[in-house]
Chain A
Amino acid sequence: MFWETFFLALREIRRNVLRSSLTILGIVIGVAAVITMVTLGNGATAQVTANISSLGSNLLQVRPGQGQRGPGGTRSTAKNLEVDDAEVISREISGLAAVAPVGSQGAQAIYSNLNWSTTINGSTNAYLQVRNWRLKKGREFTDGELRSGRAVCILGDTVREKLFGGQNSLGEAIRMGKLTCRVIGVLETKGQSSFGSDEDDLVIIPLRTLQRRMAGNKDIQQILISAKNGVSTTKVKEDIERLMRERRRIATGKDDDFHVMDMQEIVTMLTGTTQVLTALLGAVAAVSLLVGGIGIMNIMLVSVTERTREIGTRLAIGALEQEVLMQFLVEAVVLSCFGGITGIIFGLITAQIGARVLGVPFIFNPGIVFLAFLFSAAVGIVFGYFPARKAAQMDPIEALRYE
């Protein structure tokens, strides 16, 4: 009996191909949107996680201010970090591979008639070590350059490209604000970061040079720390927190006015962001599924009215109420499942194209495909029930008389 009903539904749908396809369009779009959003969202999350892991899972970051803030977040009113903090951390805490104090400032880099707005990071060679960054050309800073704050710089590949193009950059002098400095090295290309910014868009100069000749103060914005392999970052994090509380004279019971993040926390934070985004887009897509369901209900009501005489005939020759109900319900469900399957196919294709365009990995999630299918079937049941019941409860005498 089920197959009878199923094939009957298929035939009815085939009779009105155009109407049926228009009816399921809402479901198709809704399901395709859900699949696309979730697949791309998963891809983005995976990429963020992968990128961050590539930084090294033993990276820690100390910033002033409370709580979680994303990289590039707003400055807080908390007391800034100092170079001394970095020195004390590297001296007092065991198990560290490198500690890099980082001061940052935006500036325009100028070479001959070309200029480029970029970020100037003042730090030490430890910065390269912590960030696991190699030089493509040239050399690192010498101790002398770091100690006396010489006007030398290492360029990120984007800055080199913008200012020098194909020309040689080593040994040339570029100007950043009032500071003119000589290029001693070029960094390897890293590409886009997880946050969509260009990692190679920076210039590194000795921290002392930045403080004396650009910033005019001794503040640093963050301290980057890498723990030795095999050392627990959680323990290192706790040690640093204790030390920093001591140094900043924070009374017991008061909140930290600085924040130490380990990679785990950064991963959680960033993937959390993309997950919230994914959920939001998914919700929007779910609304379009709802709209699709209403479309199905509408067309099923039309269909029931059109086929009043047929229903009357079926009831007269002995169809039970539930048999007529099932007929129309199955028709609605088959319709919406068609929409679901079409939507899944479209969604996967769109997601694959989208993943390629956005440069995120395409991650096939069978769970969401299954869920989307179930959901579309449920839409058919929910929105098909009312028209089907209307058909089943018709008075056969009235229905047979219907013109």
Chain B
Amino acid sequence: MIMENSNPKSSESMIELQAVSKVYGTGSAAMYALRGISLRIDSGEFVAVMGPSGSGKSTCMNILGCLDLPSAGTYCFKGIKVEKLTRDQRAVLRRSYLGFVFQGFNLLNRTSARENVELPLIYRGIPVSVRRMQALEALDAVGLKGWELHTPAELSGGQQQRVAIARAIVTKPQILLADEPTGNLDSARSREVMELLTRFNRERGITIIMVTHETDMARYAGRQVHFIDGYIDNGHQQGEEA
């Protein structure tokens, strides 16, 4: 159904939202979270998604992450119409192409860093020995060599987020979706995390879409997309592309 590891450097658009709306509730109680937004993100971009709470950016991220479906409009991911997929098909899409980093890290408690990183590989059905090696490589890449056997409780917030990033990139995803990755970290740790993300974007060509409140963090991105009241605020678009 979905081919893994097609060429990440392809120039065609990776993500294309067209007139996407999301409505919660029906009738007079209907509440629009997204009001017909269109957004195109190309392979290798680093996009910061900004906007106040309730502006629709989280909803947009959920749709981009194939966790949620639009009420109207189309979401084309590498040419695949996501809204036509079943729940399990979307799960396969996520495990094949996407990596997730959350504000609250969402690591498994009482589970070592290495095993946390191995988790997505388990669902890809990768054999233990290969998996272990790949997990160690990913932890090395985020600068956590030597911390493999520590559990989240034994790691600092910054280290936990780096484990989470290792977990997201261990599958060699084409897109990394980060939902306020620095939201729970102090500024020094935040910078470390952002430098890490920038490096993966540059060196590995991973497309990164990151939600953030902080303009400091958004500066690391090549492009900023601002959400207001369910619309994309075009006046605010900055960066290489408008």
**What residues make up the interface of A, taking CB atoms closer than 8 Å to B?**
1, 4, 15, 309-310, 312-323, 396-397, 400
Q: Of residues 57 to 103 in B, which have CB atoms within 8 Å of A's CB atoms?
A: 62, 65, 67-68, 87-88, 91-92, 94-96, 98-100, 102
Which residue of B62, B68, B120 is within 8 Å of A318 (Cβ)? B120
Contact A314 B62 (CB under 8 A): no
Shortest CB distance A11–B (Å): 8
Q: Which residue of A lies closest to B86 (CB)?
A: A321
Which residue of A1, A15, A310, A318 is within 8 Å of B91 (Cβ)? A318
Shortest CB distance B15–A (Å): 17
A-B contact pairs, 8 of them (CB 8 A): A15-B110, A312-B106, A316-B94, A317-B123, A319-B123, A320-B88, A397-B62, A400-B106
Q: Which residues of B contact A321 (CB under 8 A)?
A: 87-88, 91
Measured CA separation A313–B125 after assembly (Å)? 17
- How many residues on B have C-beta within 8 angstroms of the other chain's C-beta atoms? 27
- Known: A314-B119, A316-B100, A397-B68. Contact between A1 and B106, CB under 8 A? no
Contact A1 B125 (CB under 8 A): yes
Measured CA separation A309–B104 after assembly (Å)? 10
Contact A318 B108 (CB under 8 A): no
Q: Is B226 an interface residue, CB under 8 A from the partner? A: no
Q: Which residues of A contact B120 (CB under 8 A)?
A: 317-318
Q: Is B167 an interface residue, CB under 8 A from the partner? A: yes
Contact B119 A400 (CB under 8 A): no
Q: Which residue of A lies closest to B108 (CB)?
A: A310
Measured CA separation A397–B119 after assembly (Å)? 19
Shortest CB distance A394–B (Å): 11
Q: Which residue of A lies closest to B58 (CB)?
A: A397
Measured CA separation A216–B125 after assembly (Å)? 92
Q: Which residues of B contact A313 (CB under 8 A)?
A: 102, 106, 108, 119
Q: Which of B87, B95, B122 has the most CB of A within 10 A?
A: B122
Sort A-B residue pairs by CB-CB distance and give the 5 closest, nearest first: A318-B95, A318-B94, A313-B106, A317-B120, A320-B88
Shortest CB distance A316–B (Å): 5
0/1 string, B101-117, CB within 8 A of A gives 1:
01010101110000000
